Amino acid sequence: MIVHFQNSLDFARQLDSNDPLKGFRDKFYLPIINGQECVYFTGNSLGLQPKTTQDYVLNELEDWASFGVEGHFHARQPWFSYHEMFPQLLTKIVGGLPEEIVVMNQLTVNLHLLMASFYQPTGERFKIICEAKAFPSDQYAFESQVRFHGFDPGKAIIEVAPREGEHVIRTEDILSTIQQNAAETALVIFSGVNYYNGQVFDMKAIAKAAHEAGAYCGFDLAHAVGNIELHLHDWEADFACWCSYKYLNSGPGGVAGAFVHQKHFSNTNLPRLAGWWGYEKSTRFLMQKGFKPIETAEGWQLSNAPILSMAAHKASLDIFEEAGMDRLLAKGKMLSDYLFYIIDSINAATAEKLIEVITPRDAKGCQASMLMLKMGREVFEALKNNGVIADWREPNVIRVAPVPLYNSFEDIHRFGEIIRGILKSA
Ligand SMILES: *Cc1c(COP(=O)(O)O)cnc(C)c1O
């Protein structure tokens, strides 16, 4: 559908009234600032709370009160198998088979667990290829994994950076770095969406190049899951992990997820760090020696499930299921296109360019990273004072992320008007 955008409140409201997902905003608590619902543009950092979450969590507290330990088998959703509800709800979201998906732990923990299996450096093949400016937790994970195996991070970690004067990492540079280091690369790992510039990576091409080089390939989907289209199975990613509290609205520090490609299930040579919850279910409670993994992604589980945070996750994923990933992707694209249009129109109205959007137009999700060429702090403060919650990254980047479940086109219009207001008064 081609929509000719207009910069007017009427037009924004018209887009909202035609939006098939407009009713979903009311399913969330929007923070109130100065007596007014805020414009919440940090769903990429901590998604908002669904109004149903409290009930889901309370149910589990009640069942714990009523049943004690018996809740493992007699709760309304028995805790023993609680996590088994998630793969089906996540198949569309990550593009994996149900057996390839498991909900467990937290993101950085899953990253380490999966690297324990898929980063097996040898004297010849020890390098990790990743993006420059990966999220800090990932950088520390890579660095410590390399040291753990006795290698030097300075030699083992190859970061692909944007070219001089550019903000986006070119796919061709990623692929050629993999090719140039082919014989020495053990693992290629990228995010799905870079947290800083909002760039969506070509995961299919990266996985293909990694495999041609004889390396494993993994993705950190923290900023991608629930945001962009994913086909982990078809792309043949070896593994992936993600958190649930950003676009997936499952609460601060919520339970995370992991994907392991089906092709690895029967490979008993793959090293792993094991725990009892990854043990074959029918004989788990015989409590015997000798680890026998479940031959699915569940075989990577360590601990029994954190039910309270899983209840919050379930509340949120039920909303995703109702909204449907296809509709969310379509609206997400419209929202971000409208956001880019509004930013363009602000730039067009100033003699000197104010904002350089460093998020690539043709490879973006629900995020625009605005490099402020001047007045960065003033703009950020004015947004805050006018009820827009955005995110500031040093030295001068404002990240805004309108999301399809609870943001509106009117939110984006209001954001644009606030910036225009400061420019007028400057
Ligand atoms: C948000 C984020 C994290 C956070 O890790 P936690 O273990 O959930 O604290 C890690 N990596 C990336 C890429 C992220 O975007």
227 with 356, same domain?
A: no
Q: Is residue 44 part of a domain?
A: no
Low-confidence stretches of the chain (pLDDT beneath 50) = none
CA 104 to ligand 1 center in whole angstroms: 14
Give me the number of domains the chain comprises: 2
Does 152 share its domain with 282? yes
Residue 220's domain comprises 56-322
Residue 1 confidence (pLDDT): 58
Q: Is 330 helix (H, G, I), strand (E, B) or coil?
A: helix
- Please give the distance, rounded to the nearest whole angstrom, from the Cα atom of residue 2 to the centre of ligand 1: 36
Lookup: tokens for 134: 């990966």
Q: What is the CATH number of the domain that holds 21?
A: 3.90.1150.10
**Is residue 35 situated within a structural domain?**
no
Q: How confident is the model at residue 282, as a pLDDT?
A: 87
- Alpha helix locations (H) across 263-324? 307-323
User: For residue 92, is it within any domain?
Assistant: yes
At 324 the pLDDT is 98
What is the pLDDT at residue 2?
Answer: 65
Q: Which atom of ligand 1 is nearest to the CA of 135?
A: 13
Answer whether residue 300 is part of any domain. Answer: yes
**Same domain? 183 vs 166:** yes
Q: Which two tokens stand for residue 353?
A: 């360019």
User: Mind listing the pLDDT tens digit for each residue in 358-370?
Assistant: 999 999 999 999 9
Å from CA of 75 to ligand 1 middle? 32
pLDDT for the residue 283: 85
Task: Assess whether 385 and 253 both reside in one domain.
Answer: no
Beta pairing class for 397-400 and 391-393: antiparallel
State the closest ligand 1 atom to the C-alpha of 109, by its place in the atom list counted from 1.
7
Buried b (16+ CB within 10 A) or exposed e, 187-205: bbbbbbbbbbbbbbbbbee
Final residue before a domain boundary, out of 322, 349, 372: 322
| Same domain? 274 vs 386 | no
Is there a domain that residue 209 lies in? yes
Does ligand 1 come within 6 angstroms of the Cβ of 386?
Answer: no
- What is the CA(283)–ligand 1 centre distance, in A? 34
212 lies in the same domain as 274: yes
CA-107 nearest atom, ligand 1 = 7
pLDDT at 288: 86
Same domain, 341 and 372: yes
Q: Is 220 in the pocket of ligand 1 (CB under 6 A)?
A: yes
